[in-house]
Amino acid sequence: MSATSTPLVIVGAGLAGWTVAREFRKLDATRAIVMVTLDNGDFYAKPTLSNAYAQKRTPDQLVTTAAAKMAETLKVELHVHTRTLAIDTQAQTLTIQKGAVEQTLAYGQLVLATGAHPIRVPVEGDAAYQVRSVNHLGDFAQFHAALGAAPKTVLVLGAGLIGCEFANDLVLGGYTVHVVDPAATALSALLPSQASAQLRDALQDLGVVWHFGTTLQSLTHSEGRMQARLANGDQVSADVVLSAIGLRADMSLAQHAGLECDRGIVVSQTLQTSASHVYALGDCAQYASAQSRTLPYVMPIMNAARALAATLHGTDTPLVFPVMPVSVKTPALPIVLVSPSPHDLGQWTQDPTADSSLGGAWRFVDAKGHVRGFVLTSKHTSKRMEWSKDIVV
């Protein structure tokens, strides 16, 4: 029996899973597609989770298309609130469970779009269990309910991309926001120091209170609130604590199936895993096409889904990533960036011709003089397409 005579099975109903289904349907209108997801399968744009408060949008308003409508439009057999327990790569089956009922599904090709889990660090204290993370719509619904309508103080752990976006969004939504990070400034892993300082100052001017060079040590209940004690001795009273430290690829299913994993599920240029007929993309994948990196952004998913759909349809299509600028959703200081690979050795250089009153502009130049990345802030973000042309990939 050929791989294409049995269903294409997709595990995960996030942007990666649904985009593969949509792109595949453009090429094949009849083949059976089965999707298995632990959540309800509703389609939404994940980036909207970190700018909903400024736009006064509720969790329900973030859903763009209900799962049933997506399944109907794309002719997908959808299994919601269903856990994938195991993959048998030899028999080409997976075991799924909904409630107490287990079921075996056969696949011709299998796509893993299992996403990533928030990184959590140990915290002492009787309120440590109340530290929240927002990685999907269900998390955001719980976070939204915890904040409620009354003015609240939110302690954000992490001054990376997601932490800064949430800090900006929450302070615009009327909340008091404190941010804790062991680094010396905001978004330090992605920005040159001058740009980091610009972002730090812009958010501070909005009211964000920074606690750099320290970490959360303990969280205890105190008079209906939580008392956070930081490693440097500072204390912060908060109503909600949000962890935005980062993400780690969800590889548990792949690892139990014996697939090769590293920082993510290792995939070839055609997105095949170490097992035949099994593919992966999205936040769970470690791309050969990106110098063995994970790329937890929207544009890599869109590009990967298009290439994978063609491969699944029978035309092996190596994934080639174009230059993909990332827009940081911090309206206090708009930022567009292309990050150099961690393997690239070089330095950030500021563009001396850029008008500093309009923001800043920096290029990352390697030892051979090649431009490997850039950062544009404020009004200079309009140059994103022009500067993208200079990147050597």
Query: Do 108 and 143 share a domain, yes or no?
Result: no
Q: Which residues are CB-contacts of 152 (< 8 A; sequence separation ≥ 6)?
A: 175, 176, 239, 240
Domain of 151, CATH number, reads 3.50.50.60
Only one residue has tokens 């049995």, namely 6
Q: Within a domain: residue 284?
A: yes
Mean pLDDT of 320-337: 96
- Of 243, 266, 299, the residue that ends a domain is 243
The amino acid at residue 154 is V
Domain of 351, CATH number, reads 3.30.390.120
Query: Do 83 and 150 share a domain, yes or no?
Result: no
Query: Do 220 and 280 share a domain, yes or no?
Result: no
Q: Within a domain: residue 131?
A: yes
Query: Do 14 and 111 share a domain, yes or no?
Result: yes
Mean pLDDT of 323-341: 95
10 Å Cβ neighbour count for 214? 14
Structurally, the chain folds into a number of domains equal to 3
User: Is the pLDDT reported for residue 151 higher than 80?
Assistant: no
Q: CA–CA distance from 345 to each of 15, 171, 342 (Å)?
A: 33, 37, 8
Query: Do 282 and 231 share a domain, yes or no?
Result: no
Q: Within a domain: residue 393?
A: no
Provide the residue range defining the domain that includes 345: 334-388
Q: Within a domain: residue 317?
A: no
10 Å Cβ neighbour count for 15? 21
Express each pLDDT in 152-203 by its tens digit. 999 999 999 999 999 999 999 999 999 999 999 999 999 999 999 999 999 9
Is residue 79 within 8 Å of 164, Cβ to Cβ? no
Is residue 217 within 8 Å of 373, Cβ to Cβ? no
Reported pTM = 0.94
Query: Do 251 and 113 share a domain, yes or no?
Result: yes
Q: CA–CA distance from 190 to each of 47, 196, 278, 294, 335 (Å)?
A: 18, 9, 33, 15, 11
In sequence order, what are the beta bridge partners of 21? none
Query: Do 357 and 266 share a domain, yes or no?
Result: no
The pLDDT-based confidence of 1 (bands split at 50, 70, 90) is: very low
Q: Within a domain: residue 179?
A: yes
Report pLDDT for 3.
63
